[in-house]
Amino acid sequence: MNKQDTPFQSLNTMKISIKKAVQSRISNLDFNNLDFGRIFSDHMFEMKYHDGKWQSAEILPYGPITFEPSMMALHYGQAVFEGMKAYYVDQNTINLFRPKDHHARFNNSAKRLCMPETDELLFIEALEELMKLDHEWVPKKKGQALYIRPVMIATEEYLAAKVSQEYRFFIITSPVGAYYSEGFNPVKLTTSDQYVRAVKGGTGEAKAAGNYGGSFLPALKAQQNGYTQVLWLDANEHKYIEEVGTMNIFFLIGDTLVTPELGGTVLPGITRRSVITLAKEWGINVEERRISIDELFETHHNGSLNEIFGAGTAAVIAPVGLIHHQGQNINLDMEKIGPFAKRMYDAITGIQYGKIEDTHGWTHPVNIKESVYY
C-alpha cells in the first residue's frame, strides 16, 4: 500500500485552519469549584473523514454540532474516545502527559471498531494549538488539570449494519478537579454477581463508547448500595479480578505489587503503565497476572494485603478502602491513602506538573509564551 492509499494525512499535506472565538467564556468559570466534565473551554478541534481520507482539519469555537438522526453512530455504535490531561507548569509551559501513548491507544480502539486511524503528528499539533489558544483554561492548583477528550464517531447517514464510510473526529477540553466525589479519600468497591464488563474477543481493551454504556446499570446499582464503583470479575468463571469501571486496579501484597494481566478484556491504561514502570524502578516486584477475588480475601485474612488503589487518567491514583463481595468485606483504612499509593501519586503528579524531573519522556511541554495567541 503506498502513501496515497493510507487514511493518514501528514502535516505537509494538511494544515489546521483556526477560527478564534469572538469572546471567551472563561469569566463564567469558578476555578475554586470545578465539577468534572461539566464546563468546556473556548475552542475545539474537528476533522472529517470522507472519500477515503481525513480532510478539513480545523480549530473553531466550542459549540453544538449538527447531524442527521440516521447518523450511523447512533444506531450501530461506532464511537471511540480517549481521556488525557494537560497540566499547568508555569506561565510559560503546559505539560501534556504521554500524548503519543494516548494517540496509539486511540488508533488501536479505532482499528477494533473498523474506524480510520489518525496521524500522530497532526494529533499532537492539534493538541498544541488548543493549549496555546486556551491556556488560561488550564487550572493552576495541584489536583486540578485540563481534561482532554478526543472522540471519533461514524457519521454516514445510512440505516444498514455495516461499516460507515464517513467519520468526524473532535478534541474538546474541560478544566477539572477531582474525579470522585470522595476527592482523595479512599473509595468503596463492590463486585457484581449478575453483570460482566467484557469477554474474550470482545471490545474490552478498546475505549469504545458502548463499553461504558453497558456498565452504567451495574454502576448505578452499586452506588445506590453505597459503593463508589464496580470491581469487575471475569465473564467466564466470574472469579478473576479485571478492573474497576473507571480505572485499573493494583494490590500491594507483602512487598509485591499485583495487577490483573491485560489479556484483551482489560483496558491497557496509560497510568497503569506508568505505575508499573515506576514501581519496578523503585525495586518493587511487580506481577501482572490473574488474581482471583478468593485469593484477595485470603491475603486480607492472613495479613499480607497492605494496600489497594486504582490508577487512571481521571483520578490518577485513587485509594481503595473497602471491597465488598457476596456479603463479605475487605476493610482497609478509610481515613487516608496508603503510603505506597501516596508515594506513587506524588511521583506521577510531580512529573505531570513539572516538579519532578521527567526521565522517561512522558511529558510533552507546550511553550505557550511563544504562542501568537498569548
Name the pairing type of β-strands 248-253 and 256-259.
antiparallel
> Would you list the domain boundaries of the chain?
3-181+362-367, 187-336
pLDDT for the residue 11: 42
pLDDT in tens, the chain (374 residues): 333 333 444 444 689 999 999 999 999 999 999 989 999 999 999 999 999 999 999 999 999 999 999 999 999 999 999 999 999 999 999 999 999 999 999 999 999 999 999 999 999 999 999 999 999 999 999 899 999 999 999 999 999 999 999 999 999 999 998 877 666 789 999 999 999 999 999 999 999 999 999 999 999 999 999 999 999 999 999 999 999 988 999 999 999 999 999 999 999 999 999 999 999 999 999 999 999 999 999 999 999 999 999 999 998 999 999 999 999 999 998 888 999 999 999 999 999 999 999 999 999 999 998 666 65
Distance from C-alpha of 316 to C-alpha of 183, rounded to nearest angstrom: 11
Determine the CATH number of domain 187-336: 3.20.10.10
Grid cell locating 238: 466470574
pTM of the model: 0.94
343 exposure class (CB count in 10 Å sphere: 0-12, 13-18, 19+) = middle
Q: What is the DSSP string of 92-110?
A: TEEEEESHHHHHHHHHHHH
- Across 268-315, the runs of DSSP E, i.e. the strands, are 285-288, 305-312
Question: Which residues, at least 6 apart from 234, have a Cβ–Cβ distance to it below 8 Å?
Answer: 196, 240, 241, 242, 265
Architecture per CATH, 3-181+362-367 = 2-Layer Sandwich (3.30)
Common-topology check for domains 3-181+362-367 and 187-336: no
